[in-house]
Amino acid sequence: MKRIVKRARSAPPPPVPEPEPRLSSAERSELQRLGAKAAARGDPTDTNPLGQARNRPLSTGESADTWSQRSDAWDQGHEAQSAVGRDSEESGPRRNGDGHD
């Protein structure tokens, strides 16, 4: 006579956490635009409003990942505009070739 051995069921694996949602392209573009405008005004990089305490995750309730994406988008816009400004300064004033400056 054969014995039937019952095996204990193992617990199912824990659920895999969902990845943080990425910023929409519209929000990313808007934050980059705001960063670029700040650079065009001559504001330094450390004026990123997302660095202010009231805009940090502990105050807003958003995740640190989402906050980081938003802050990075602003910084990217600022850096891109700053690079354009540096390139313009290095090349000097534009001349239109007609003898009038």
pLDDT band at 91 (very low <50, low <70, confident <90, very high): low
Residue 40's pLDDT is 96
Under a CB-based contact definition with an 8 Å cutoff, are residues 45 and 75 in contact? yes
Q: What is the mean pLDDT of residues 92-100?
A: 56
Q: What rounded mean pLDDT belongs to the chain?
A: 85
Residue 16's pLDDT is 75
Q: Where are the chain's structural domains? A: 25-90
Q: Where are the alpha helices (DSSP H) in 19-101?
A: 25-41, 57-60, 64-91
The string of pLDDT tens digits covering residues 34-79 is: 999 999 999 999 999 999 999 999 999 999 999 999 999 999 999 9
DSSP state of 54: G
Q: Report the predicted TM-score, pTM, of the whole model to 2 decimal places.
A: 0.67
Q: Determine the Cα–Cα distance for residues 85 and 99; give it in Å rounded to an integer.
A: 25
pLDDT band at 80 (very low <50, low <70, confident <90, very high): very high
Which of 48, 50, 28 is closest to 38 using CA atoms?
A: 48
